Amino acid sequence: GQNIDQPTEMTATEGAIVQINCTYQTSGFNGLFWYQQHAGEAPTFLSYNVLDGLEEKGRFSSFLSRSKGYSYLLLKELQMKDSASYLCAVSFQAGGFKTIFGAGTRLFVKA
Amino acid sequence: DAGVTQSPTHLIKTRGQQVTLRCSPKSGHDTVSWYQQALGQGPQFIFQYYEEEERQRGNFPDRFSGHQFPNYSSELNVNALLLGDSALYLCASSLGTGGTEAFFGQGTRLTVV
């Protein structure tokens, strides 16, 4: 079966760096997404990793290791507005492509 | 350029009733996926429509059905509503079915009483 694990909650300080980990077990792996979701709002796309390595996009970076079934999202220079849920999602091929989501990591940024 | 739009935004239904939720994909997108998101949980995949056919389905009972129209818009129908069906229903559109980036609508908050 398919499974995605990520921490339930994290707390960090404004201006700091935080790393949110995600591990997954799946067959037919295609790619890994990170989405940000503020309370009561739709998820918004942050990153998509297909190959191993680090993808940097402004204050956000995402890393993937396919052999380890592991990814992380790195948020630098944290701002209060970064307080949100961060969803790890895996796309895999099972007679067509399907994307499944983890339960999300709720990040609280404190002053 | 309109993004993904869903209607209605909120809905209250009684147990046993039926509900239809609607989604218009982002311009240029041809694939629509539906998700159910319970409070504090990640989105759970319901099904995906492409070329007016259901292409993929998650672990949801037959009470959940859908449709895609020639203009790529989609409907999600839920019959015989249960209290446990109360959730945020999200529609995501993408180009093709190859696991590309999906854009989400704001969702429909369904409450079953």
Cβ-based burial of A10 (10 A; exposed 0-12, middle 13-18, buried ≥19): middle
- Please check the confidence at residue B48 and state whether its pLDDT lies above 70: yes
Give B33→chain A minimum CA distance, Å: 9
- CB–CB of B47/B58 below 8 Å? yes
Quick: pLDDT tens for A53-107. Answer: 999 999 999 999 999 999 999 999 999 999 999 999 999 887 777 888 999 999 9
Q: How many CB pairs under 8 A join A and B?
A: 61
Using a CB-CB cut-off of 8 Å, the residues of chain A touching B58 are: 98, 100
Give A76→chain B minimum CA distance, Å: 23
Mean pLDDT for A16-37 is 95
Mean pLDDT for B37-45 is 92
Using a CB-CB cut-off of 8 Å, the residues of chain B touching A87 are: 42-43
pLDDT tier for residue B9 given thresholds of 50, 70 and 90? very high
Mean pLDDT for B2-29 is 95
**For residue A72, what pLDDT is reported?**
98
Q: CA-nearest residue of chain A to B41?
A: A103
Residue B52: in which H helix or E strand, if any?
none
